Amino acid sequence: MVKSIGNIKIVVNLYEINKGNKSLPSYKAIVKRDVINKSRLNIGDGCLFQLNNCIFPSVMVKHNNSKGSYCYSFTIPREIAKDVKVRNIELNLLQVCKSSKINYIKKIKNYIVLPKFTKTRIGNPLYSFSLNKNDNIVWIYSRGCKPFVLPKKIQIIHKENDLIEIMGAFFCEGLRFRKKGHNLDRFSFSNSEPEQISWFIDSIKKLFKIKKEIWDCQILFPKTNPNLINKLKCFWSKQGINKNNIKVYKNESVRAKYGVCIISISNSSLAEVFHQIYEYCKNIVCNNKRYALSFFRGVSRGDIGIAKNCITFSTREKEDVELYAKVCKLLNLSPSNPYYSSGCWNVNIYGYNNFKYLIKNDAIKHTKRKNILYKNFINSKKSILYKYLKNISKNINSSLSLAKILGLSQITTVFYLRKFRKEGYIKSTRKYKNRPYIYTLTLKGNNILKFYSKIEKVII
């Protein structure tokens, strides 16, 4: 629970500790017991303080002294305390967050709401303070962790930006693994496609209000020389990254034309909160088809591959491949059973009807992969219907004329025409018994022709 307690003044003694040439000093505020009693603060309470127009969070802890007595203390960030010239200072106590109860992310209509208090996976307290009407300061109580400002409520769907789709992409390309016993040290996403990096940065900006300028960027490329490095920096800066924040590193295994781009923000508080949002979204993905489709669209930006007769997905974790298969089944797709090969878990999707569903629902958001899928679909044997409908719409509408234009025998052409007539795509008429049938499109045929025509327009 967060208490807004107004503007309470607290007098503390400021001490500089860890002095020495090899380490930067840190700063601790010592608080007398009577001050704590008046303020009704307890050990472990998260506090939001203000000093010289700077707002910062800290946690009240017990401080034992050499005489067997004790008082209370909390740390003050170096960048705030280093300019304070006096030892005895007065701070404003703005809010108090009690750590007695664990809260969880909640969904309210089209929003998810961040908890006031929770813990990271390794057990560090994670506090959330109200900064203003729209924003919270999130902060992990752990050494070296800095606070970060995030919206109080995050929209699941905001115009063209979809939080579940972001999490699908993060599921493939985001940094999710931490060192044993450590919090995540950065919020990170990688991709070799400029389009995907630009989309991710823009989406995060609109939903999480995170400015483009604060992203750091590493480019992995097989060669490095001054001219090439400058060209790579210029290219990737066009995707919304500050050129001064881009560094290029040699990696001979990279095959992508412009290298692999890794964007990151070094802040554990942001990384852990985002990871909790990711875990929450992952748990609601299979609640309905809308979320499942959004998640699949995100995955299509990452680990999906498009072959001639197959859509592939591979990952190192079995639980990831099981989630993907579950999402596919919820979308009425027919994925293969997960199988392990070459160090990865794999699931494949085959079949004309599966591909047709994905195309109809615009499920592939990676432009190059979409183009390959659409080309394969148009050129597949089962898409011969399109060739017939397209020519009939151009008044090439007898079996003989269709056979000539399609390069088929008249017997084969008549077979397909009867088949499509039976399925309701075309109808046939003739004025006299000795005259050939003339074929025209039905409403169903016109609709499927529009569908195929849209696909053809997308193909580059």
3: pLDDT strictly greater than 70 = no
- Beta-carbon-side half-sphere exposure of residue 449 (alpha carbons within 13 Å): 19
Report the alpha-carbon distance of residue 417 to residue 299 in Å, rounded.
39
Q: Please name the residues in contact with 317: beta carbons below 8 A apart, sequence gap of 6 or more.
A: 345
pLDDT attached to residue 33: 87
For 9-13, 16-20, 131-135, 367-371, which range has the lowest pLDDT when averaged over its residues?
Answer: 16-20
CA end-to-end distance (rounded Å), the chain:
55
pLDDT attached to residue 25: 85
| 3-class DSSP state of 289 | helix
1: pLDDT strictly greater than 60 = no
215: pLDDT strictly greater than 90 = yes
Over residues 293-318, mean pLDDT: 94
Q: Is the dihedral of CA 324, 122, 76, 58 positive or negative?
A: positive
pLDDT attached to residue 5: 56
Report the alpha-carbon distance of residue 459 to residue 455 in Å, rounded.
7
Report the alpha-carbon distance of residue 192 to residue 258 in Å, rounded.
7
Q: How confident is the model at residue 216 (pLDDT cuts 50, 70, 90)?
A: very high
Higher pLDDT, 263 or 18: 263
What's the chain's Rg over C-alpha atoms? 30
| 3-class DSSP state of 357 | helix
**Is the CB of residue 11 less than 8 Å from the CB of residue 90?**
yes
Over residues 221-247, mean pLDDT: 94
Q: 14-28 burial by CB neighbour count: b if 16+ within 10 A, else e?
A: beeeeeeeeeeebbb
- Domains by residue range for the chain, with CATH: 2-97 (2.40.30), 106-272 (no CATH), 303-378 (3.10.28.10), 381-458 (1.10.10.10)
Q: How confident is the model at residue 123 (pLDDT cuts 50, 70, 90)?
A: very high
Which amino acid does the sequence have at 370? K
Which one-letter DSSP state was computed for residue 395?
A: T
- Residue indicated by tokens 């990688």: 190
| 3-class DSSP state of 188 | strand
Over residues 210-239, mean pLDDT: 94
pLDDT in tens, 142-190: 888 899 999 999 999 887 889 999 999 999 999 988 888 889 999 999 9
**Is the CB of residue 121 less than 8 Å from the CB of residue 182?**
no
Report the alpha-carbon distance of residue 345 to residue 338 in Å, rounded.
7
pLDDT attached to residue 310: 94
Which one-letter DSSP state was computed for residue 212?
A: G
Q: How confident is the model at residue 18 (pLDDT cuts 50, 70, 90)?
A: confident
